[in-house]
Amino acid sequence: MVPLDENEPVSVDADFLIAVTEIIFWASVGDLEKLKTFCKNKAFNFKQAYDYDRRSPLHLACVNGCRNVCEWLITEAKVDVNFVDRFGNTPLMGAVLGKHDACIRLLKEKGGKVLEEGFLVSLEDSCVLNTHRTSELPKMDAQYIELIYLASEGILPGLRQSRELLSSGIVKDYDDRTPLHLAAANGKLEAVDYLLSIEVAVNAVDRFGLTPLEGAMRSNLPVRDKVVAALERHDGKVYQHGQLVPSNEADIKAPVVKQTKNFDHWEVQPRGIQFGEKLGEGAFAIVHACMYEATLVAAKILK
C-alpha cells in the first residue's frame, strides 16, 4: 500500500517556502526556462517541493498539460513520477483528468501509475476511467495558486501585496477553498487575522461543505482555539443543513477532541502484525505491506 504520510518532515525555512511557491507557479504555467534558471542557480530539494495539498510541481504541470515541464521534472530534476497528493492522486491521474494525451503518454513511458484502493497500478489495470473521478478539473489562475499557498504557510508579505485581489473573494482552489480556509486549517493565526482585517468572506463554503471555522475546529494544532476565537469574533459560522449556524448549535459529525497524553488505547502491539513484502523505501523509513487483525495495512519502519 502507499502511505499518505502527512507527518513527513518538511522544511520551515522561509526562503525554501518562497522557492517552493515559485517553482510550483512556474510548473503550473509551463515556464520551463524560468524553472531551469532558478534550479541552476540554487541547490533545490524537490522531495519536499509540494503545496498545502501535497501537489508537486509535476502534479500541476500534468493537470495543465505542460508536457515539456513534465519531461524536464522527471528526467532532469528526478522527481517522483508517482508522488501521491492529499486526495490520493498521482500526476498521471491529473493528466487523465485534464485529458492531456501527450502528458499521459510521457508519464506511462516513465512508469507513471494511478493509486487505486491503496495500490499503484497501471492505467490499463485501473478502473478509474469508469468512475466519477474522470470529471475535468477546473482551471485555476496561476496567481490564485500562489496566494492560496502563501496563506496556507502564513507568509504575510506576499499576501499584503495582493490585498485588493484577496478582498475580491474570487481567489479559490480546485475545491472552492479560499486563502482563509487554508490559513485557518493550518493554524496560521497571523494570516487569519490579516485576512479578516481586509474583510474577506469569513463564511465561504468549500466543495466539501466546510467553512473556515469548521476547518479550524477540526484541526489538532496548538493554536486551534485562538484561530477559532478569531473567526467567531468576525461572525464565523458552520454550514449545516443548507444554512450557516453558530458553532455551539452545529452538529459536527466528526468533532476533533483536544489532544491528551494518554495514547495507550491507540497502541498497536507489534506481535499482532504480520509483515509482508517491501513496498518502498525513503530517506527516513522502509514501508512494508502487512496484515493486522485480518486487515491489509502498510507499516513504516524508521531507519
**Which CATH number is 75's domain given?**
1.25.40.20
Question: Cell numbers of 91, please?
Answer: 500526476
One domain, residues 224 and 283:
no
Q: DSSP letter for 12, please.
A: -
One domain, residues 282 and 242:
no
One domain, residues 87 and 146:
no
Identify whether 31 is part of a domain: yes
Higher-pLDDT residue of 6 and 21 is 21
Picking from 214, 246, 278, the residue at the C-terminal end of a domain is 246
**Residue positions in the annotated binding site for ATP?**
300
One domain, residues 107 and 177:
no
One domain, residues 125 and 159:
no
Confidence of residue 127 (pLDDT cuts 50, 70, 90): low
* 216: pLDDT strictly greater than 50: yes
One domain, residues 118 and 200:
no
Q: What is the mean pLDDT of residues 232-258?
A: 79
Total domains present in the chain: 3
One domain, residues 20 and 53:
yes
* 50: pLDDT strictly greater than 70: yes
Confidence of residue 3 (pLDDT cuts 50, 70, 90): very low
One domain, residues 152 and 240:
yes
Q: How many CB atoms lie within 10 A of CB 147?
A: 25
Smallest CA-to-CA distance from 193 within 161, 217, 229, 218 is with 229
Q: How far apart are CA 290 and CA 294, in angstroms?
A: 10
Percent of the chain with pLDDT over 90: 33
Picking from 231, 246, 261, the residue at the C-terminal end of a domain is 246
Identify whether 196 is part of a domain: yes
Residue type, 51: D
One domain, residues 109 and 40:
yes
Q: DSSP letter for 43, please.
A: -
Identify whether 5 is part of a domain: no
Confidence of residue 82 (pLDDT cuts 50, 70, 90): very high
Identify whether 193 is part of a domain: yes
Domain that holds residue 180: 142-246
Identify whether 254 is part of a domain: no
pLDDT for res 201: 93
Identify whether 44 is part of a domain: yes
Identify whether 1 is part of a domain: no
Question: Cell numbers of 179, please?
Answer: 486563502
Higher-pLDDT residue of 112 and 270 is 112
* 255: pLDDT strictly greater than 60: no
Residue range 146-168, pLDDT digits in tens: 888 889 889 998 899 999 899 88
One domain, residues 38 and 126:
yes
Identify whether 199 is part of a domain: yes
One domain, residues 111 and 33:
yes
**Residue positions in the annotated binding site?**
300
pLDDT for res 130: 43
One domain, residues 129 and 202:
no
Q: Which residue has the cell 517541493?
A: 49
Picking from 134, 164, 194, the residue at the C-terminal end of a domain is 134
Smallest CA-to-CA distance from 5 within 280, 216, 276 is with 280
* 257: pLDDT strictly greater than 70: no
